[in-house]
Structure 1
Amino acid sequence: MNLLPPVISIHRFLEKLGEEVELRGGGVAAIFNSSLSINPKPKLSYKSFECLVLSLPRQSRNHQQPIIFAVVYRAPRAYTEFLKEFPEFLSNLVLKTDKIIIVGDFNIHVDNNKDCLSVAFISILDSIGFSQCVHKPTHCGNHTLDLVLSYGVGIENLTVLPRNPVLSDHNLITFDFSITEYMPLIKNSFSRCLPDSAVAKFKEIIPITFKPVLAVDINNKFFKTLSSIEIDHLVDSSADSLRLTLDSIAPLKKKNVKHSKLAPWYNSQTNELKQLSRKLERKWRSSNHVENLIDWKNSVKEYKKALHKARAAYYSKLIEENKNNPRFLFSTVARLTESHTSTEPSKIKMHLFVPNTCTVMQRHTHAGREI
């Protein structure tokens, strides 16, 4: 278990497919470092395969969509329904993000170009834009069953390790990928609370802890013959004793520092204006000069104008890119009008047009009275 990260989270999904009771295999799981802000997505139910979907948010200024990881298991059975459900599964993922990694045991002989299922499966991947990255046997039957599918992510150093027959009839697959725009939302920090009572107790315990060392005569021939490695070991042992003593009196306390999410329209220009505004504010507060106060207020106005302009440009671009997607447009309009309770077209129309209708009726009423 030394290969596992020091702090891990495990998510698993177990479900019997169909109504069959005695199925071999099944169940998918994911193990990851809990310092990553990975969240399990709602369970997706398909009849022909099992899947566990995880989401890693990206909060850079240029990327707001998450990175999606999925673990899939398909039992070796009839594949007609799988060829219908799996393209739907891939399409739903692609609509949510531009970076996807899918791993799992598909029980498809992708190494056999004459296999009907293999040909149909590769055709589905090509049509949606996924890449299949494993090109070596991954099973004791000398077929490639365990796959790594990527969409918008470069897979590097993929290795199919030798199979251990004691553990499994499948090979272990390892690979690397880089995500340059990822910024963790949660950062861990550690601190100690050292009141006067803890300091006094520490000073009281230290002589007892180092009593054997303090009682030794350093002029003894034994110490003069110690090598540099042995001296280093003695120093490290003393440091460990100090640390353990301090931990027993004032243990380290973990604190999670959450980073605020950046608005999707926040860009480098607005960031520079914000930094300039804060700089001018600090200058004014330190000097209390009227000129510095005016400069700061003007910089705040420029910053707010840039934010408003960036927000308008962001939504204009979003609406233009999705002008043929009514569901997305209605959802966007609901967010802009702060109508989060429903994204149904009819209700949004009522929200938008009823106040206008009332205004028109009032105008006609006033006009009629004047006549």
Structure 2
Amino acid sequence: MDYPEGTIRRSYSASELMRFRSLPRQWIIPNQEVLSKLKYLGILNFRRARAGIKTHNGHRRIKKQTCVNLSNLIYPKRCNTLSNFTENVTCLTVNCRSLVRKDVLVGQLLREQKVDFAILTETWYSDEKQYQFETSDLNQNGYKISVSNRQNRIGGGVALTCRSGVNMRRLLSGAKSSFEYGVWQLIFKSITIHCVGIYRPPSLATPNQFVTEFFQFLEDIVPKYLNLMIMGDFNLHIHDDSSAVSEFNNSLFALGLLQHVDFPTHVHGHSLDLVITELANGVDLLSCEPGPFLSDHCAVKVVTRVKKENIVSKSISFRHFKDMDNEGFANDLNQMAICTDSVENFVDQFETEIEKLLNTHAPMKEKIQICRAPKPWFSESIMSLKRVMRRSERLWRKHRQPKDYEIYKSALHKYHYELRNVKQLTLSQKVIESKGNSKKLYQFVKDLTGSKSENPMPPVEDENTLADKFADHFMDKIKKIRESLKDFENYKPLVKDVPPFGSFESLSEDEIKMLISQLQTKSCELDISAHQSIEIISQ
């Protein structure tokens, strides 16, 4: 065998090799000639000796660093800005067959699947019974609902429910002769989606009549709205070879639309619930897959490429009145001087001075609060029932036997019944805990009904101008009513002399203290100072 030039050959005897076998690897040291050649070729790098003081046994003792100055440490600043963790928007459509009693079951599914919005058909809601959807589980616990109910008949109906942080607005709702519909606008951070919910009752019209009227409806919708997603229960056997289905597919292609459901959505093996999007728009789908059966229809889950903010937060402003120096605040109040003859100027100067003092002694602070959906009423017993239901559902999907389907329906009803009972017990317990505390009880009812405290007043720069406009509006309204009643014979307007507020009587210090002591311990956002500061003023 020919070896390259410069190769060092080393021969080992059998005894040496047997000795190397029994020795630890770190003790196997080649001779100096081999080490020198490896170093010359740049293959071997000698490690320097360890630092420290060498002791008598050959080990080195590392000197510990002393006199550490902790003031030299640099502490990183805490960042209050939340990172924008993004996820894909997930949506869902399902025929519920009455949300009146299935709202808890559907709401639990939305939270488990982390659904951002859902089109729900056959809600069976009614405008005469608004409490059914206002107090629904789909209008609380992190979700809100908008309905398009059937008029003059029971059953039917289309609804959209979405997360509370999504800006949602209903644009259209109504019914044609062959189907019911609703159009909603959903505003996300990166895109605005227009979602159309469709429910077609099979008994109203033939499939051909429905296809003709449906595409007449789409001819008005498609040019008007961008980023369309059309979902719902079409009750059309989309995989059958019929003239209605052929016309439906050809019309979709002509309008530049694409249908994504390619699996059965009904217990009898038909694809009735569809998801349709535009071919060239911002809503691209990552997946479209079947979900659990909540009725004789299964849910259709869709994951889009649209990004959403995973963390929703809001800013809260407040003052720490409990930490305020009451003596210092009282001293500054005694030194406050207001010199004016006008009542309006006196009030303006007083509010300005009080605000300056509050900013000094109790400055306005701001914090960011993360909006998290409350935890649902879910226990280990509910979880075990859910596992049994899912197991029976998978068995029925695999074999498609009537006996397996009956077992699955029984497990589903048992899970739904237990879930509703747990919710009722939880809500009843919260009402009992709020006994004697009306504020806590009203807040609980407010959260339960999904109502929000929004200021109905229009935004203005000057509040006094807004108050004057309201006063002028009502004065003009009263004047017009009086003028319209002059033509009646039996009408005799009452003329009253309203004395003007031109003179005021001065009050003593004891009378003012008595008035302040009789005030209720409440305050609102319009008050210039809280009740705590008013008590300090009286003292």
TM range (shorter): 0.3 to 0.5
Give the number of the structure whose residues are more often helix, by fraction: 1
Q: Give the structure-2-normalised TM-score.
A: 0.32
